[in-house]
Amino acid sequence: MRKARGMIFAVVSALIFGFTPIMVRETLSHGSNVVMTSFLRAFFVIPFFLISMKSRNVSVKVTKDEFKKLLLMCSIGGCVTMTMLYASYQYISVGLATSIHFIYPTIVTTFSILFLKEKVNKYKILSLIVSLIGIILLMDNVGGNKNFPLGLTLAMTSGFTYSFYLIYMDKSGLKNMDSVKVTFYNCVINATMLFIFGLITGDFTLSLTKYAWIMAFVISILVSVMGTLFIQLAIVNAGVSTYTILSTLEPITSVILGIILFNETTNPKRLLGCVMIFLSVVILALTTRAYERKNKRTGINE
């Protein structure tokens, strides 16, 4: 049951993050910029997390060692990931950027197998392969796009830094810290770094339209509160490898919403990519359930 809950958390977080790029693009086109949008995403929800911790008598204090770990994880895995991914939307399509960002399941799984000696069954490997094929099929025809190299670099960088976030969260011991507390520090560190960076570069601005302010607030609630918390709960309950595979639902969400809301064109290849990623989720869900039943009968904990 615990792994099943984790899988549900992973799917919900993927749907949330798949919807977010559409709103980010809207915010950027109404007076905001990448740094400001990233700053507001973290800043708006800091009071929410303080109130939540106080209501549950969770101390905001951390040890020196915990703060060092939080600073490393949140600055690289949080701040850099968010900024690079949002920046990539300016140069390539949302669907393509999200697809490229999804090199991180391959990075996490490969790193876990080679260096962390994580046990991965053959069905999880099959699910990963099928999802990777789907992601490749989702990629747009980029011929003639002179901005593609820069967009590709930004999106790939976000994939690598997010891989670091997931692995470090899982192995540093921070996953055992209160999830709201981790998210609070993530937002504080991100907002502080982006505020300083924005002042230095001149990207910190309050000249957003009313629509952009509203969209920025909604992004903050969806991503910083709901999405981030569900990621942490997914990792705690199901493990990082299972989360990274299920999270491939994110590009499907981005592609479908792009078609519905912005009339983005699609083709049979991209539609097949969506089917392949959905198939990978079905494979993982069914085999995970079968393993849980088998282990329950034999008394083995995987």
Q: What is the pLDDT of residues 62-87, one digit of tens each?
A: 999 999 999 999 999 999 999 999 99
Which is nearest to 10 in space by CA: 284, 295, 291? 284
Amino acid letter, 200? I
pLDDT band at 199; cut points 50, 70, 90: very high
Residues 6+ apart with CB under 8 A from 245: 105, 109, 124, 127, 128, 131, 280, 281, 284
pLDDT at position 158 is: 95
pLDDT exceeds 60 at position 153: yes
Please report the pLDDT score of residue 302 as a whole number: 46
* Tokens encoding 52: 């939540």
Please tell me the distance from the alpha carbon of residue 138 to that of residue 273, in angstroms, as a whole number. 5
Give the pLDDT band of residue 296 (cuts 50, 70, 90).
low
Task: Tell me the mean pLDDT in the region 216-245.
Answer: 81
Rounded to whole angstroms, the Cα distance separating 157 from 240 reads 19
The per-residue pLDDT for range 4-51, each reduced to its tens digit, is 888 888 888 888 888 888 899 889 989 899 999 999 999 999 999 999
Q: How far apart are CA 24 and CA 218, in angstroms?
A: 10
Q: Average pLDDT of 104-120? A: 76
Mean pLDDT of 107-127: 77
- pLDDT band (50, 70, 90) for residue 205: very high
DSSP string, 103-126: THHHHHHHHHHHTS-----HHHHH
Alpha carbon of residue 106 to chain centroid? 14
Contact 108, 167 (CB under 8 A): yes
Rg of the chain, C-alpha, whole Å: 19
- Give me the mean pLDDT over the 106-132 stretch: 78
Query: How many CB atoms neighbour CB 302 within 10 A?
Result: 11
Portion of the chain with pLDDT greater than 90, in percent: 37
Task: Indicate the burial class of 154 (C-beta count within 10 angstroms; 0-12, 13-18, 19 or more).
Answer: buried
CB–CB of 13/238 below 8 Å? no
Asked whether 18 and 278 are in contact (CB, 8 A), the reply is no
What pTM value is reported for the model? Answer: 0.80
Compute the mean pLDDT over every residue in the chain, rounded to the nearest whole number: 84
